[in-house]
Structure 1
Amino acid sequence: MFIITLRFADKTKAPQFMDGHNAWIRQGFDDGVFLLVGSLLPNMGGAIIAHNASAEEIETRVRDDPFVAEGVVSADILAVTPGRTDDRLAFLKV
């Protein structure tokens, strides 16, 4: 499982790449990799919980985000190995 943070680096460029970023998010859900996408508050960027992919696949996917590629955000990827979960999240345990 991965926790990805996307922190704004140049928010002024966000509007011109928003459609591509939203398409990238949809693709992550369509591919079964993204479980949750939300905002970092207050207005600092976004966060993603991802699974079902290798670290290399996640790194490639994040690089392909137009926001990352165009310097709108800086990305940080944290790999997490769940050791204990609520039963509803048991599928995350490896």
Structure 2
Amino acid sequence: MFIVMLKFSENKAQAGQFMDAHKAWIEQGIQDGVFALVGSLPDVGGGILVHNLSRDALEQRIKDDPFVAENVVTPEIIEFIPNKGDERFSFLIDQG
């Protein structure tokens, strides 16, 4: 599992121009079953909880985000290996 932080970059002011495409990119990740949660990081950018995806595949997917491509945000990928949690999140917990 990964936590992706999308931190505002030099072209933050152009976010509106690419917002629709960015939202479509997010929706595709949700439909593909790899984005578990997506949300805002106030005054910083946004964050995504990603599962069911290799790091290489995630890095490629992130390159396809219009916000990343247009330097609206800079991505940071953090690997996270959950091993305990509420049963509602059992599908995210490493069974290995």
TM-score range, shorter chain: over 0.9
- Cα distance in structure 2, aligned partners of 1:55 and 1:11: 26
Percent identity between the two aligned chains:
53
- 1:75 is paired with a residue whose SS is strand
- Cα distance in structure 1, aligned partners of 2:80 and 2:63: 19
TM-score, normalising length: structure 1: 0.94
How many pairs does the alignment contain?
A: 93
Please state how far the C-alpha of 1:57 moved relative to its aligned partner: 0.9
Question: What stretches of structure 1 of length at least 5 have no aligned partner?
Answer: none
Structure 2 residue aligned with 1:32: 33
- Cα distance in structure 1, aligned partners of 2:91 and 2:23: 26
Give the superposed CA RMSD.
Answer: 0.9
Please state how far the C-alpha of 1:46 moved relative to its aligned partner: 0.3
Matches within 5 A, 1:65-76: 65-76=65-76
- Cα distance in structure 1, aligned partners of 2:26 and 2:36: 10
CA offset digits 1:42-81 (Å, max 9, x no partner): x221001010111111111111100001100000011111
Structure 2 residue aligned with 1:16: 17
Matches within 5 A, 1:15-94: 15-41=16-42, 43-94=43-94
Please state how far the C-alpha of 1:26 moved relative to its aligned partner: 0.4
Please state how far the C-alpha of 1:83 moved relative to its aligned partner: 1.3
TM-score, normalising length: structure 2: 0.92
